[in-house]
Amino acid sequence: MSVTTLKNELRKHALHARNNAHEKFSDLAPHIISSAFFAHILPLLPPVNQLVVATYFPIKSEINPLPLAHTLHLMGATLALPVIIAPEKPLKFAPYAPGDTLQKGPFNTQQPHTPKAISPNLIITPLLAFDNLGFRLGYGGGFYDRTIPLHPQALSLGIAYEQQRSQKNLPTLPSDIPLNAVITTEKTNLINPQKS
């Protein structure tokens, strides 16, 4: 079985596991993630007033990162949301502030209207599954794998329910990029967190 075929099979199981966890823990998860972020991730980052945080609007059963992002914004951080330019292209990150009017993007995403792009030093990513090496399983578009290497100064952070952790290493391709850290509803996983 090819890596691509195996990943597609794993996506079905991972989505089912995430949906089940979301039904049970969706109300608590954003608070748990925020607490872990301030305890374990924020000390690794530049001062909050120098932070440019690329977050996302949750779709399906993704954990909602917006309470954390909005708190960081109140503390002085700049926020950005991903903009899908085209298939097979990296994401662009456009400035966003709470209350901004957004437009519907591909895959039911919400995107800023502005064509301006900014460079983050923290990239918060959704995922379907992850492993202990930091590799993530997404929806298969490869957007974050193409984008993260373009921002070497950024710490890449996945947020997930603990039930999304793969007990085995995920199948990978050379184009797959591991995350620096993953926060789950039970544990903070610092995989390669050192950033300048």
Closest CA to 172 of 137, 125, 146: 137
Closest CA to 190 of 50, 29, 42: 42
What is the structure's pLDDT at 84? 92
Domains (ranges, CATH) in the chain? Answer: 3-190 (3.40.50.10420)
Q: For residues 111 and 74, what is the distance between their CA atoms, to the nearest angstrom?
A: 21
Average pLDDT of each block of 10 consecutive residues along the chain (196 residues)? 89 96 96 97 96 96 97 98 92 94 84 89 97 94 95 97 96 94 96 67
Rounded to the nearest 5°, which phi and psi values hold at 118? -130, 160
Count H helices and E strands in the chain, helices first.
4, 11
Q: For residues 112 and 119, what is the distance between their CA atoms, to the nearest angstrom?
A: 15
Residue 132 near residue 189, CB atoms below 8 Å: yes
Q: For residues 55 and 43, what is the distance between their CA atoms, to the nearest angstrom?
A: 18
pLDDT tens profile 14-27: 999 999 999 999 99
Per residue in 36-75, is it b (16+ CB within 10 Å) or e — as a string?
bbeebbbeebbebeebbbbbbbbeebbbbbbebbbebbee
Cβ neighbours of 115 (radius 10 Å): 8
The pTM of this model reads 0.95
What is the structure's pLDDT at 196? 44
Closest CA to 122 of 80, 79, 154: 154
Q: For residues 44 and 153, what is the distance between their CA atoms, to the nearest angstrom?
A: 12
Burial of 118 per CB tally in 10 Å (0-12, 13-18, 19+): middle
